[in-house]
Amino acid sequence: MRLGVLTSGGDCSGLNAAIRAVARQTAARGGELIGFEDAWRGVLERAWVPVTVEYCRGLLPRGGTVLGTSRITPYQEEGDLDLARAVRDELDLDGFVVIGGNGSLACAARLTTDGIPCIGIPKTIDNDIGLTEHSIGFDTAVHVAAAAIDRLHTTAEAHDRVLVVEVMGRHAGHVAVRAGLAGGATLTLVPERPFVLDDVIAAIERRHRAGRYATVVAVAEGALPAAGTWEIPEPEIDRFGHARLGGVGAALGAEIERRTGYETRVTVLGYVQRGGTPTAFDRVLATRLGLAAVDAAYDGAWGSMMALQADRIVRVSLAEATEAQATVPEELLDAAAAFFP
Ligand code: F6P
């Protein structure tokens, strides 16, 4: 079998570990693997490299993706889909292993329907892909954010300050909730539960009255105030139609300081959460998903996504997995809220 592999959408830690596992299993099953540069750009521009076991030496702990990534898909320009089919035929590929987030995997489902067979591997620090309990990169991001919150506590205490830390999480607050719980954030604000600014202010003031002058507020970039309670600036839209988030932390910090008079500082963790060495959990997950993806291709299970459910790797439908955003379960949201002052 000849397979193509690509990493698509925003990067995260663990992508190289997944590429390595796909290469290893393809070789073990007697197949050949071709890696496309910068996702579908590499297909459309015929930029590819043979991905052998040798090519993958040393990749397991490396952050980023050796193949590069982009948000380009064969649906953006007229004729791209035909070009992608032509490239597949030229290279005699049986199909593609797409390592992607929600958008890239929804695209892989559509491509499968349009005659370009794909298998999906879920990756995103946001962990918002359906039917899998974890996506590659999420655990690493939580570790980075929790470690940052630990550090912010000590400086907040030294200065008696409020520290707002904005973490990634576009539609779901998985990173904020887990890092907030692990790091002992005072308040955690997420897209799943729109917040009321007055309640946030009141909670911080209660805490001060009780003699706790340092407060850490963890806020997901996609957190929103409840309708009609407070307006924050609309985000810019990038050329792929994605809102460029980031800004709620700064707006919140300014408002907390203005209304309480307490010194407030804001830290935006941003891309630190997506870079660097993956945790052991992410390396193992990426390896298991990568091996399973190749087996699925050999079984002809095109249109499926490899998923983690109850610590087993299972095959689910790409279309179903990408239909709904996987939000934070109520029990975890309640756990984070249990520590509100
Ligand atoms: O989807 C993952 C994510 O990290 C989001 O949390 C964030 O909003 C987005 O990617 C930013 O992506 P980029 O700036 O690379 O387009």
Ligand 1 in contact with 126 (CB < 6 A)? yes
Averaged pLDDT for residues 56-81: 97
Q: Which of 38, 126, 128, 282 is catalytic?
A: 126
Instruction: State the pLDDT confidence band at 238, using cuts at 50, 70 and 90.
Output: confident
Q: Whose CA is nearest to atom 12 of ligand 1?
A: 10
In this structure, which amino acid lies at residue 249?
Answer: G
User: Is the pLDDT confidence value at 246 over 80?
Assistant: no
Nearest to 179 by CA among 193, 189, 191: 189
Confidence of residue 240 (pLDDT cuts 50, 70, 90): confident
- pLDDT value at residue 182: 98
**CA 153 / ligand 1 centre spacing (Å):** 26
8 A C-beta contact, residue 273 and residue 170: no
Active site residue 126: yes
Distance CA 305, CA 317 (A): 6
Q: In the predicted model, what is the mean pLDDT of the chain?
A: 97
Q: How far is the CA of 274 from the centre of ligand 1 (A)?
A: 9
* pLDDT > 70: percent of the chain: 100
Judge whether 20 and 121 are in contact, CB under 8 Å: no
Give residue 244's pLDDT: 80
Alpha carbon nearest to ligand 1 atom 9, residue: 10
Per-residue pLDDT, 133: 97
State whether the beta carbon of 122 lies less than 6 angstroms from ligand 1: no
287-309 per-position pLDDT tens digit: 999 999 999 999 999 999 999 99
Distance 179 CA to ligand 1 centre (A): 18
Ligand 1 atom nearest to CA at 240: 16
pLDDT at 325: 84
pLDDT tens digit sequence for 118-167: 999 999 999 999 999 999 999 999 999 999 999 999 999 999 999 999 99
According to CATH, the superfamily of the domain at 141-275 is Phosphofructokinase domain (3.40.50.460)
Instruction: Say yes or no: CB of residue 10 within 6 Å of ligand 1.
Output: yes
Per-residue pLDDT at 235: 81
CB-based contacts of 41, cutoff 8 Å, min separation 6: 47, 70, 72
Which amino acid is present at 42? Answer: G
Give the domain ranges of the chain.
Answer: 2-137+278-323, 141-275
Closest residue to atom 10 of ligand 1, CA basis: 10
Distance, C-alpha 36 to centroid of its chain: 21
Atom of ligand 1 nearest to the CA of 273: 4
Cβ atoms of 10 and 35 within 8 Å: the answer is no
Ligand 1 near 125 CB (within 6 A) = yes
Collect all residues with Cβ–Cβ distance below 8 Å to 159 and sequence separation of at least 6.
214, 263
pLDDT in the model for residue 239: 79
Neighbours of 298 (CB within 10 A): 16
pLDDT exceeds 80 at position 82: yes
Distance (angstroms) between ligand 1 centre and the Cα of 101 equals 10
Cα 16 to averaged position of ligand 1 atoms, centre (Å): 18
Probe residue for ligand 1, chosen from 8, 69, 125 as the CB with the greatest number of ligand atoms within 8 Å: 125
Answer for the pair 6, 99: CB distance below 8 angstroms, yes or no.
Answer: yes
Ligand 1 nearest atom to the CA of residue 10, by list position: 15
195-201's contacts with Cβ under 8 Å and 24+ in sequence apart are 195/223, 195/224, 195/225, 195/226, 196/225, 196/226, 196/229, 196/230, 197/225, 197/229, 197/230, 197/252, 197/255, 198/229, 200/252, 200/256, 201/255, 201/256, 201/259, 201/260
The predicted pLDDT at position 184 comes to 97
Burial category of 227 from C-beta neighbours within 10 Å (exposed 0-12, middle 13-18, buried 19 and up): exposed
Q: Is residue 112 scored above 80 in pLDDT?
A: yes
List Cα–Cα distances, 314 to 63, 152, 336, in angstroms.
Answer: 25, 39, 30
Is 129 near ligand 1, meaning CB less than 6 Å away? no
DSSP for 163-185? EEEEE--SS--HHHHHHHHHHT-
Which residue owns the Cα nearest ligand 1 atom 16? Answer: 10
**What CA–CA distance (Å, rounded) separates 325 from 126?**
10
Radius of gyration of the chain (CA): 21
Select 2-137+278-323's CATH number: 3.20.20.370, 3.40.190.10, 3.20.20.70, 3.40.50.450.
3.40.50.450
How many angstroms separate the alpha carbon of residue 172 from the centre of ligand 1?
12
Angstrom distance (rounded) from CA 251 to CA 130? 31
For the Cβ of 168 lying below 6 angstroms from any atom of ligand 1, the answer is yes
**Does the pLDDT value for residue 199 go beyond 90?**
yes
